[in-house]
Amino acid sequence: MKKINTAPLSGMQELLPNTQALFNKLKQNIVDTYHSYGFIDIETPIIDRTEVLLAKAGGDTEKQIYKVIKTEESQDAADQALRFDHTVPLSRYVVQHQNELSFPFHVTQVGRNFRGERAQKGRFREFYQCDIDIIGREKLPISYDAKIIACIYTALSTFNLPKMRIRINNRKLVSGFIKSLGLSRLIEQISFVIDHAEKVSEEETKKALRELNISEENVEKIFTFMHIHGDIDLVEKELDMILQNKSDVKEGLDELRQVSEILSAKQLSNVFEIDLMIVRGLDYYTGTVYEVFLDDYRHIGSISGGGRYENLCSNFSKQSFPGVGGSIGLTRLFYVLQENQFIKEEANFPINFVIMPLSQNELIKSFEIADNLRNKGFTVDVDMGYDKKLGERFKRANTISSQAIVIGESEVEKNEFTIKNLVTGETQTLELA
C-alpha cells in the first residue's frame, strides 16, 4: 500500500468533533441574529466564471484566486474559478435576478470562500465568511448603514467576548479633508498611509507622507486628522481646528452624524466611536466604513469590517445598486479566539443522552425511550456495543455526552429508568411523560 499523507492541506481548518460543535454554535448564533434583523439567505455557487470573479479585482486577488480545470472538458480551463468573497457573486446575483428581488434587498451569505494566500499561521485558504448586505435601487438611505453595524455588533455579542469597540469613519470625510489641503491627486496614496498607520511607528507614518512630497504643515495636519477619535461632536470640534474649508467634509460629517444618532438610540454609545484612522483597504467603499476590535486586544486585528459602496454592480450593469455591508470572518476569528483562550470547549457535549442497553434484549425498549426523547427535541445516541465492558462503554459515552441511561432486564421489567450524570456521578429518575 502506497503511503498517502492524510493531513489536510496547509491553510485548511479541520476541527475535531467537539471543537466543530462549538464553531457551529457560534456560526448559528451569527445566522440567527442576521435573520432576526430581517436578512434573508441566498447561496451563490462556489465555482463561477473567472471573468465575473475578476471583473474588478486585480493585485493580490488575481494572484490568489483558485482556478478550476476539468479533465473531461479541458476547453473550460481557466474559465472557471472559486469565489474569493461573497460580494462579487452577490453583485452578479443582484443583476441577474433584479426583477425578482425586492429592494432594499436584505441578504445574508454564510459560506466558505477560497484564497491561495501564502501559508501563514492564522491565515486560511478556505474560510467562512458571514456576510450581510443591504442593496437598494438608485437610492439607499444612510440609516441602513447603522442597521448593518448594529446587527453585526449584536451577532458578535452572542460570543461573550471581552469588550468590543466599533470604530466608524466615512470615506467622503477622508477624501474631503485631503481635498481641503489641495491634495486631491494623492487621495489614494494618503488613504493607504492612514490605513497602515496602526501597523507601523509614528515616525514611519510621517516618513511615508513626506515621501509623497507633502509639505511639513500638511504632514502634521494629516497626522493630527488620522488620530482624531471620539463622539461625533468631539470629532467635529477637533476637525474644525485643522480645516480651512468646512464644506469639503460636510457630507461625510453629516452621514457620520446620522449613523451616530441611530447607534446612540440603540444604546450603543459606549461601544462605538468615530475614528478617522479607519479607512479599509478595499477600494470599492465610498462612504461609511467600520471595523470592530476587541478593546484590550487590538493587536489581533479587526474582528469584523464593512461599509458602504455606491456602485456594487458597476461591472455588470449600468443601473445603480447602492449597497452597504458587513462581514465576520469566522474561520480566522475562531482561530484567534481559541489562541487567546476567549472561548472554551469545557463540557461542550453535542449529545444529550447516551442510552446503553445491556444486551440485545433491551434494544427495542432502548429505541422506544430514544425516540421518545428525540420527539422532545433531545439528541440521543443508542450505544449497541453489548460486547464491550460497561466501563469502556461509559468512557465512550462521556466523550460525547454528560448523561447516560443504562437499560438492563430489571429496568425494562419495572419500567423505571435512571439517568446517570457522567461528570458528577449523580443519578436522577427519567420521567417519560
Shortest spacing between CB 31 and its own copies, in angstroms: 10
Name residues contacting its own copies, limited to 154-183 (CB under 8 A): none
Name residues contacting its own copies, limited to 237-266 (CB under 8 A): 262, 265-266
Closer by beta carbon to its own copies, 14 or else 202? 14
Q: Does 350 bind its own copies (CB under 8 A)?
A: yes
Q: Does 16 bind its own copies (CB under 8 A)?
A: yes
Q: Does 37 bind its own copies (CB under 8 A)?
A: yes
Q: Does 319 bind its own copies (CB under 8 A)?
A: no
Q: Does 104 bind its own copies (CB under 8 A)?
A: yes
What residue spans of 227-293 are helical by DSSP H? 232-240, 250-265
Q: Quick one: which of 83, 85, 114, 174 contacts its own copies (CB under 8 A)?
A: 114
Q: Angle 221-227-232 (CA atoms, 0-180°, nearest 5)?
A: 105
Q: Which residue(s) pair with 405 in the sheet?
A: 355, 419
Q: Does 70 bind its own copies (CB under 8 A)?
A: yes
Three-state DSSP class for residue 326: strand
Kindly tell me the sign of the dihedral angle through the C-alpha atoms of 351, 354, 360, 364.
negative
| Candidate segments 72-80, 173-181, 272-280, 409-417, binder of its own copies by CB under 8 A | 72-80
Q: Does 389 bind its own copies (CB under 8 A)?
A: no
Closer by beta carbon to its own copies, 184 or else 361? 361
Residue with cell 493531513: 7
| Candidate segments 95-103, 289-297, 336-344, 412-420, binder of its own copies by CB under 8 A | 95-103
How far is Cα 315 from Cα 56, in angstroms, rounded to an integer? 7
Q: Angle 143-147-148 (CA atoms, 0-180°, nearest 5)?
A: 120
Cell, residue 171: 470615506
Q: Does 315 bind its own copies (CB under 8 A)?
A: yes
Cell, residue 65: 484566486
Q: Does 43 bind its own copies (CB under 8 A)?
A: yes
Residue with cell 446575483: 93
141 neighbors 122 (Cβ within 8 angstroms): no
Shortest spacing between CB 303 and its own copies, in angstroms: 21
Q: Does 121 bind its own copies (CB under 8 A)?
A: no
How far is Cα 152 from Cα 266, in angstroms, rounded to an integer? 13
Length of the chain as a residue count: 433
Q: Does 390 bind its own copies (CB under 8 A)?
A: no
Q: Which of 128, 84, 129, 115 is nearest to 11 (CA)?
A: 115
Q: Quick one: which of 26, 168, 380, 406 contacts its own copies (CB under 8 A)?
A: 380
Q: Does 399 bind its own copies (CB under 8 A)?
A: yes
Name residues contacting its own copies, limited to 355-374 (CB under 8 A): 360, 363-364, 367, 371, 374
Residue 50's contacts (CB-CB under 8 Å, 6 or more residues apart) are 65, 67, 78, 79, 80, 81
Shortest spacing between CB 339 and its own copies, in angstroms: 19
Q: Does 56 bind its own copies (CB under 8 A)?
A: no
DSSP 158: T
Q: Does 22 bind its own copies (CB under 8 A)?
A: no
Q: Quick one: which of 47, 187, 300, 412 contacts its own copies (CB under 8 A)?
A: 47
How far is Cα 154 from Cα 145, in angstroms, rounded to an integer? 14
Shortest spacing between CB 358 and its own copies, in angstroms: 14
Q: Does 9 bind its own copies (CB under 8 A)?
A: yes
If 0-12 CB within 10 Å is exposed, 13-18 middle and 19+ buried, where does residue 99 land? exposed
